[in-house]
A and B are shown apart, each in its own frame.
Chain A
Amino acid sequence: MAVLNMRRFSTAFQRVFGKPTHHGKPQPLAGPLAWGALLVAGLAACGTQGDATVLPDRWPRSGLSGYRFVDADVPYALGRFGWDLDEPTVVVPVMPSATLADARMQVWGQMSPRLSPEKTVLFRAGLSAQKPNAEAEPDEVLTPTQPWEGAGLHSPSVLALRDDGSRQLLVYQGQQGDVGAAVVTADGIDKRDAPLISATTLRAGTAGNIGRVSAVRDEDRVYLFYTLGERELRVAETEYATLVRAADLGRKETGELDVRISPPLLYVSAVGVPPGESKAVPAERIGHVAARRLLTPVGRVRWDVALRAQAGRDTVLVAASAYAEGRTKASIGPASAFLPVEAALIKTSEGTVGAPSLATVAGRSLLFFGLRSVGSQVAVATLPQ
């Protein structure tokens, strides 16, 4: 027969907590150890009140889709009365700030008087990463002065010549798609007289028109991404030192930069509009490319291009991406092919989307893009946390 010694348990309990009196009330607790035991139990019991904190997902994302306006009521970063703004390019300091609150960035772009859309000039504005939807008014910084530039300038890209940002190389396009350069310092902007690369070179023997050029440095090389004939993505590749020397030689230098043009890296038909949806159809046009090079957390290089795709009346912003792996000396461009992401960078019904630009500032992923409703301004979106 099983005998569980409950009497022994009862005795031990009474030793610690005191025997009940014949009135049924317990005597005072016997000994400080019992008080200690009660204290431990009490503290533990108080801790069991619970904590219903909702855990946010603080897992970093690659930033290739799913952007939302920083503030749906105040979606614009930049605007100027009577002007249309587009083609933003974000310049993040080479030595980034430690915190989001301190982080500042430059946004370059193009703007034109609403009544003279062909007379585009380049603008520049400073923004805070913490509150990028400041609706700031940009400054006009560069106007066309050379014959090759035509009536307007567009597609600014900025490469840092010094780590502190005090000297920058501005790459831009004239009206016909030729690419020019200028050196930007605190004293002003020193523009090269002749184009660096002609539109004819970029066409690579075709008759297609040249889309927005986006210049990105990759160590000793510079890649200029652009769309050709609104049907394919190409890259013009040159050496960084050669580019800097050509820009530095001054305004009298007339020779064209030696570049190599890649084969198509992305075809228009590979992009679905709207991306990833069952009713998606192949895009009819792609353009307004903005490229970026980033180092993933494991230390490998990934290239992203953000672009605008159109099919029928639908216009969307979409990204395409590639790893810089398996390249040889004979290869042209940072990758052999870009794969389009099957989700839009942003879904919006606020207006027609223009040219995009991606940036990560102090750990915050930002998407700037032109957004046209009555006029065109630069909107800003971020990845939801």
Chain B
Amino acid sequence: MSAWAWLLTLCGALLGATSARANPVDAFGLGARATALGSAYSAVADDTAAAYYNPAGLARSTDLRVDLGYQLARPVLNVSGQPQDLMDSRGLIFGVLLPGRLLGLRFAFGVTLFLPDQQATRIRVLSFDRPRLQLFENRPQRMFFAANLAIHIYRGLYLGGGLTFMSRSKGVVYLRGRVALSDPEQSALESSVDVNLLAIRYPQVGLLFEATKDLSFSLVYRHKFLLELEQGFNIRGDIGDEGQEPLVKGARFEQVAYSVDLFQPWQIVAGAAARFSSVLVSFDLTYSRWSEQPPPAARITLNVDIGRFNDLVKLVPSRPYPDPGFFDTLMPAVGVEWRALSNALSGRLALDLRGGYRFEPSPVPEQDGESSFGDSDRHIVSLGLGVELSRLGQVLKKPLAIDVFGAFTHLPLRRFKKLDPRSLVGDFTVGGQVWQVGGQMRWRF
């Protein structure tokens, strides 16, 4: 296959991908260095974290890279003063970046994985009126796996894009045979199950421009993600006792439940990074299209055909749910990295100190009606440390980076009032914190 064919295939895949994105990386960041910088990383990325922050950054690296780390986020949230049992989001981070050349252009291919400890995907669909912390239940519990390709186009200009992979389930349980009337235990039904885990791909593309060697700009688009589940059962058979003429021949009962388990909006990120001597300052501004959030509840369709008894059965159609009315959000993030030590220990050690701040406004509107989606704004403060070890002998000829970070998210108390005093949930408040820690090793070869 020619290089142009590869490119066309990549573009086709990007355009043809289904909508997607909902992951713990959005919520808590990816990688120790990026998270320490407050996730203001789109113009800084040059490692495997670029797979999320800006795929174009992959092509900056001329080294083969292997990154391995672990990160944990623990939400400690209260609803009306009552502590909530929320799951940690924790897991292994692994990434590989392979540089190469294409038609004389430098390019890089990278794969990045966040493998959670607990659930590859968490599926929990609740009824519309059931209260929940919308952005802390399913959203941080899923695997993230992205593959990206980036090219150095021209003098400091990089373009990258790729796909993130996910799967959704679609399944039906079939029952076939005879349903006995007088004694249900005499029914003779054969069962079969047909379940498919269907692949979902969703794209991200990024542009990176190094205006000077100390000044970079970035632009990133991440597509939206909607994980729909489709599950049902299908019963076909005769109704009647064994040895007798069936009361109904070929009766049919079908049920299908569609539900939205995960949703993440499409996002546009604009970023910049500037280096002033030993200090790197980065800034990201992310627009998130939360207003497309569909009602997070199941729609159920029922079909029944029992011949001459159809008039006796009245099926109530699944009611339409109101638009949850989420707001689009604009999220600023800023990060600072200071090279505190360079060439220490005879040039073997360098030390970076990092800090960051991000503000994530809540997309959740007032909950004065039927729904009770609890959420609050987030102020995220992060700190980190990076050690770069050089001249480690024949094993590693290039510097090895070891990064650690800690982050604290403050959710100020938010008050939700119900219009109807009879609401079964009633007025409520949401507030709390999220604690994060993590570490990562980054090898270059």
Pairwise interchain contact B92-A44, C-beta atoms closer than 8 A: yes
Cβ-neighbour of B429 out of A37, A298, A322 (below 8 A) = A298
Pairwise interchain contact B441-A40, C-beta atoms closer than 8 A: yes
Pairwise interchain contact B422-A60, C-beta atoms closer than 8 A: no
Cβ-neighbour of B395 out of A4, A16, A321, A363 (below 8 A) = A16
- Assembled-state Cα–Cα distance A8/B96 (Å): 13
Pairwise interchain contact B395-A60, C-beta atoms closer than 8 A: no
Report A8-31 residues with CB < 8 Å from chain B CB.
8-9, 11-12, 15-16, 30-31
- The interface residues of chain A lying within 8 Å CB-to-CB of B90 are 47
Pairwise interchain contact B70-A297, C-beta atoms closer than 8 A: no
Pairwise interchain contact B424-A30, C-beta atoms closer than 8 A: no
A-contact bits for B91-131, CB 8 A (1 contact / 0 none):
11000001111100001010000011111000010000011
- Assembled-state Cα–Cα distance A339/B422 (Å): 7
Pairwise interchain contact A41-B68, C-beta atoms closer than 8 A: yes
Pairwise interchain contact A60-B428, C-beta atoms closer than 8 A: yes
Minimal Cβ-Cβ distance residue in A for B393 = A31
Most buried by B among A31, A43, A340: A31
Cβ-neighbour of B423 out of A47, A62, A303 (below 8 A) = A62
- Assembled-state Cα–Cα distance A26/B181 (Å): 69
Pairwise interchain contact A50-B423, C-beta atoms closer than 8 A: no
B180 interface residue per 8 A CB criterion: no
Cβ-neighbour of B117 out of A37, A47, A65 (below 8 A) = A47
Pairwise interchain contact B428-A297, C-beta atoms closer than 8 A: yes
Taking the closest CB of chain B, its distance from the CB of A292, in whole angstroms, is 13
With A48-B115, A60-B79 known as contacts, the answer to whether A55 contacts B87 (CB < 8 A) is yes
- The interface residues of chain B lying within 8 Å CB-to-CB of A34 are 395
Cβ-neighbour of B421 out of A47, A53, A58, A323 (below 8 A) = A323
Cβ-neighbour of B426 out of A9, A11, A62, A320 (below 8 A) = A62
B183 interface residue per 8 A CB criterion: no
Taking residues whose C-beta sits less than 8 angstroms from the other chain, chain A's interface range is 35 or more
Taking the closest CB of chain B, its distance from the CB of A212, in whole angstroms, is 22
- The interface residues of chain B lying within 8 Å CB-to-CB of A31 are 392-393, 395
A64 interface residue per 8 A CB criterion: yes
- The interface residues of chain A lying within 8 Å CB-to-CB of B85 are 55-56, 58
Pairwise interchain contact B64-A8, C-beta atoms closer than 8 A: yes
B253 interface residue per 8 A CB criterion: no
Cβ-neighbour of A4 out of B68, B98, B393 (below 8 A) = B98
With A50-B119, A60-B428, A297-B428 known as contacts, the answer to whether A30 contacts B395 (CB < 8 A) is yes
A-B contact pairs, 17 of them (CB 8 A): A8-B64, A11-B445, A16-B396, A37-B443, A50-B119, A51-B118, A58-B79, A59-B79, A59-B425, A59-B428, A60-B426, A64-B422, A296-B426, A297-B81, A297-B428, A303-B421, A339-B421
Counting from the closest, the 10 A-B pairs by CB-CB distance are: A62-B426, A12-B445, A296-B427, A44-B92, A297-B80, A321-B421, A298-B415, A47-B117, A31-B395, A298-B427
